[in-house]
Amino acid sequence: MAGDALAQAIEHTLLRPDASESDVRQTLAEAVDWGCFGVCVQPYWVAPLRDAPIPVISVTGFPFGADRPDHKAHGAATARDDGAAEIDMVINQGAIKSGDWKAYAADIAAVRAAIPDLVLKTILETGLLTDGERDEAARIARAEGVDILKTCTGYCSRGATVEDVEALVKFGPVKASAGIRTREQAEALLVAGATRLGTSAARAILGEGRAVQGNLDPAALLGTAEAARRETRRVLEENAGRPGHIFNLGHGVLPGTPISSVEAMVGVVREGL
């Protein structure tokens, strides 16, 4: 599969609770440089990425789906207002295991009503469902207006499988997500019928040789010179030995940046050459 086609299927994902703004902006820069479809982040980071040149995807009810429907709906609407283009909602597993399919459907309907203009995905957490539960959950989700069926959150027993995709694609478009670490896995899931892939391992999948630009958050230079040195060293260390690594500022130097911080950054980069 051509690299560009594979990249266009990927939502480069960063949903770690400890991700910093610098981490989030680096993930966006990588997604843009590598030609990924979009970037998937926690709701807190949607507004800072409002002007991103690619779609920003966010989540509601993440990661366990046990929120009340009105809470999920409010979260989805807030993310939309902050600039999200798509929402991935976690379904109510408890309702399914209780046999309350009416409550399960109402949960989805609440979110769909809150964001009628956005692409909505439901995260089914397939590793926790029987085959029958998975199929019924997919059927109802599509009936309630869900656009794309998503496999997993990455927080439970397993990630996406070819078998998941082959089963779900009978009901509609599929986003395979969680546990996708290699190009071989990614290509197998696409061959099985997935149209999107959610992964935090885009670098490994698309190739270590791809250049990365814009991976230092310009806000890192607004503090002290020592803070600028520390962040610059971190970026260089994370990309040490990678062919094609290009160090720069994705959005240039911000107004009010101390010249001492810029000089400190340049000094560290020169030391590393």
pLDDT tens for residues 51-70? 999 999 999 999 999 999 99
User: What pLDDT is attached to residue 221?
Assistant: 82
Cβ atoms within 10 Å of 243's Cβ, excluding its own: 9
Q: Is the separation of the CB atoms in 12 and 38 below 8 Å?
A: yes
Per-residue pLDDT for 151 more than 70?
Answer: yes
Buried b / exposed e across 86-109, counting CB within 10 Å, b at 16+?
bbbbbbbbebbeeeeeeebbebbb
Q: Where are the alpha helices (DSSP H) in the chain?
A: 3-8, 21-34, 69-82, 93-97, 101-114, 131-143, 162-168, 183-192, 202-206, 225-238, 259-272
pLDDT tens for residues 213-230? 556 777 778 789 898 898
Residue 249's SS3 state is: strand
Find the range with the poorest average confidence among 79-83, 185-189, 198-202, 243-247: 243-247
Average pLDDT rounded to a whole number, residues 151-177: 96
Per-residue pLDDT for 32 more than 90?
Answer: yes
Cβ atoms within 10 Å of 33's Cβ, excluding its own: 17
Q: Is the separation of the CB atoms in 93 and 65 below 8 Å?
A: yes
Q: Is the separation of the CB atoms in 208 and 182 below 8 Å?
A: no
Q: Is 115 exposed, middle or buried (0-12, 13-18, 19+ CB in 10 A)?
A: buried
Q: How far apart are CA 38 and CA 227, in angstroms?
A: 30
Catalytic center residues: 88, 150, 175
Q: Which helix (H) or strand (E) holds 198?
A: strand 196-199
Per-residue pLDDT for 250 more than 60?
Answer: no
Per-residue pLDDT for 195 more than 90?
Answer: yes
Average pLDDT rounded to a whole number, residues 141-147: 98
pLDDT tens for residues 81-127? 999 999 999 999 999 999 999 999 999 999 999 999 999 999 999 99
User: What pLDDT is attached to residue 110?
Assistant: 98
User: What pLDDT is attached to residue 235?
Assistant: 79
User: What pLDDT is attached to residue 79?
Assistant: 98
